[in-house]
Structure 1
């Protein structure tokens, strides 16, 4: 905040007053320190005096005791008691005075022990004197009392020496503080003189700066007005081309510039394209597109720094009219950024210099221009994204219809079940119930282990669960046991489906009954074994026939009929060989047919798996598109808030809000139409399914169709309520009071949330109090 001249002078005098006040406070504090120092000196003298009085009292006590010993006069005992009392009082007082000095406290404690010892010694002498004078004389002559008395003197001298040192130290501190006070006082007086000189300098300099400040204020107001008017030009929904032309047109007109261009960044090929211009006539060799780092335009965009040129001599850009054909002398190229990213470059040329206010206006307006350009780009991207979503939506509807047809065909041909992440069954089709002999109610909520036959190795099932738990598809043949105990073979494909969080939500199992094929293979294997046995028997028969032939040859001469019998047996042999060959051919044909059936089953499983993957991929693409739309919508809303914040002080904010409200109403109207058209189709189809006119749906499927219809109808009501928001803002909303059946309301809640509760293994009930009205 800039200070006025009067305030600066006032601050100068306030500073002087504060310094004088500081001097007074300092003097007061210094006097307090001086008084405190004198008090400590008095304290030291008092301690010294108390030590002297202790010595005097101890000496008096000794004199009184000696007087009693010598004379036997009891008056000395009274004086002895008084001396002891005084010594104890002085000891207590000196202990109180030196409680802040640990060294003296130790001296006092030692002195007290010595004094008590001396008093005890004197009492012993007095007690002996009362009994026997000679013993008392001998006790005194021993010299113990004198040694104790000398110890008392040494302790007192040592303590007094410490106090004398403290007294000298405190006197030195007092003298140093006096000198410091004088020095500080002189320094503060010099500071006051300096401040007075500074105040004088401020008065003279402010008079000179007053005109300069007025000029700067006028320039700031000019910049502020220009930025405000530019924001008004940028408000509202405009095309990129119109927005660029409006921007450069206003800047050139407001700054009296002679020529200008706007280049916007094309993200597809990273080039800057001429998008707006003012009084610009393009020569033949000029460029309307620049790559990053190409020319001054590209360099400015890449470095994100302003480029200023003066005294231009090139003929690349000229200012032309019917009476003028001149080149600009000064050129200013400025990038505008949004969140650190270059969106484009503005180029402005003048015949005169750019002053600081004009440069400041250009720099200040770049943020608003960037926000507006980015908002326009986002709106364009949003429109393109909505068109793409509509196209994808149509494709998804076609895909969903094809998928429904494929699922219907799959339900007719295959055995289908769905299990949750724990392996518990949540859906089975009619074929599953038919082959397992279990009802749907008996299967739902149960684990697939209910079908285990116990005839296969446990390692097979461990590998199965390990494969599907890792997110991979498992294929193989399983031998299951029906409710009545019969066994049946199924060719099984189990595919896990992931949720948004990447965790497995359910497992879809598709099975084909291959019991007949398995039985045929077993029968074929049995036939092969029989044929091998017959072939072995035929070999033995051939050997016997050969032996018989040899015998018959020997007997040929004797029996003419043997040749005929041999020929007949050879014919029988040939017939049996032909029968064996035909059986082998039949076996080969049956094997080929079985292999073809297995190939068809395998191909069908692969097609179903591929269709499932395609559906999953389409769902992920739709989800990504929705997330992208949500992110762009959130980004657009955030940037719109930034635009509104930047335009908070604009005088015509009310008009902008009205325009924004009108656009929102139009957007809601268009979006509601686009949503209700496919939603109505969904309602018609789900209604037709719920009526089950062909009676080919079970009760669960009919209920599911009814839930789809109910949810779609609620969504349609919600869309209509969204449209009513615009009526509320316009003040045209009316409230209609209607009766609501609580039973229908509770039944609707049960239908909507029952399946969700079942999937999560929860019990969901809804009970109405009997006291409630209908």
Structure 2
């Protein structure tokens, strides 16, 4: 409306006055422009030409000053005469530059100025400066000779002549401008009268045009309204040729007529559809009639109607009928709610209008060929806010707005009609079912009498079965009680086994501690008292002790698995660090056996993997240890890659895992016979189980690996060829983060590896030698085993300590309260009379001993021993057999803190 209102009657009148005013202002501006131009010409003559004359005179004056000053100095030799020369020599250049800049549009005059400049500079170079220099240097003869010829006079005469010619040209230009100024004045007078006549002519034309436009439009609108009033044809329109208020009136009348015609057309078509679908016997017939009538009505060349079946939560959208379907069935047979655009239409209860449909969307065919639609409509048909059907239409052209409006009007009535047909169909179905049920009830009533007799006989049989069931229940209760007793016995047996292994661990580690420490001291031969052969004997004893410790750890590990108590701590494992870990541990072994050790990391392996990193490392260490043990020549290869999906499906079905790592260890060793590949995973079994076997070992490593793999949710697969080599592959899936997997909560668990003392980085101290740090320090060793006391005392004294020994907790307290100041205490946990826990608690109860460094020693290796020692008040913890390097590090840390 705003676009049309700018051409209104008021606007036209204002526009007429505005046009006249604009032309009048233009006339004034033109005259003013001419006057301004004349004024500029006058000012130019006054300011420019006069300034040019002034500057030429000024430059000539500068030259005269320079000549006069030069001659005065030459005659008198007085330096005061040179001041005008110096000032004029710079001033003439400034005036010349200004004069030259005033003539940008006159190249001829600029050339004359350039000649003047060159003449002036020639005078300065030939006459001015040289004569002054000769006078300053008292070269009288040269001055006399110069003035006899006086070449400077010629330059000065030339400058005056050049300036005269220059000013003559300027004067001619000034006269030309004056003539032009007179001509412009005469032109201005004539132009002013011509503009006034033109403005008068334009004003008359604008007034005539505006009045004619208003009168003509009013006449046309009046005639059109008269024709419409006397005519019954509703398709007539008022011709509109203007964009003023009268034109708006005609357009509004035309819009009203079009609206009435559209409403009448819509109501007629909706009535036809409603009349056509009344009395339909079922929804399928209704759908066929409906799609056949609506499709051509909306200019659609293809269509499908779907109906929603089933109850909420189990609804399906089923195809009911189609229009102009080709050789294949039109549309899909059905959808779920929310599936595809049809399902989404049901879910959202809104219409989808697709334009620019892809070429391969669907083909509309006829006898002559086929084509793709341009527009697709998907419209929901609802009843009481619930979608009960969907109408999908396609056209080769585009759906016009009246088609969309007609469809919206039709679907409002279709919901009621479809629901009515469905309700009538359902009533008829229920009626048929009711009749069938009535007949069925009559038949069942007759059969009921027969069944009552049969029930009586059946009841007698049931009574007998109940008595038999009661007897069986009593027997099951007895079996249950026996199973509970057996379970309790198994638990006690498992507890006995755990206690036995814990005690055996203590009893074995205690003597083993002294064996390892003393044999290590003997093998080092610091006192140089042993022969090389005796030193080798000590190394063999030390190596045997470590082998025995490894056997104890394997037995405890296996018993822990069998006892059903293993904690799998799931955390992030950096897969890319695996090669570095394994290379660091086994590269020396490869070098000693002259084997090639290779580690391959596939590029598609994830950097972070969720699993128990400790257990994965333990499995890989066992597999690599076996590979190096059974390989005398060739190579050992470890590969880290992602498992193939097909193999994952075979190994882990029906479980699903996003990522499964395949960690394989291959060797070129002796291989495993086919009949031994299952036996090797059993405890204490090897491929060669005879007493004369070539390779040592307990046969526990693979059994532990298999159990750990199960706890990680994975598998170990072995491939081997006797005499060629073996390949073990660990398939481990990604687990859920931040969770622990517990097996049999009631069982007692063991720490399989001797837990290393954890020393925070902040506690580490610098390049201090034990002999220097430990010298003169007093250490208290508390242990009831004389073998351990002897081994520790010998080693500590060699390190520079003063050693005090106590065999139980009470002697420890007495020693601490004695005269000798103790710098550090090593306290065994398993002692008679007063164990290590109680001893440490009593020490910490004494305020004077609260800061004493205490390192707890234990050989029992029970889980949570470290936590219990720290809770009791120990500074740190180390397990037996004691690693002397580890003990040295701990003592260095705690003694350095003092």
Do they fold alike, i.e. is TM over 0.5? Answer: no
Bigger helix share: 1
TM-score category (smaller protein): 0.3 to 0.5
TM-score, normalisation: structure 2: 0.30
TM-score, normalisation: structure 1: 0.34
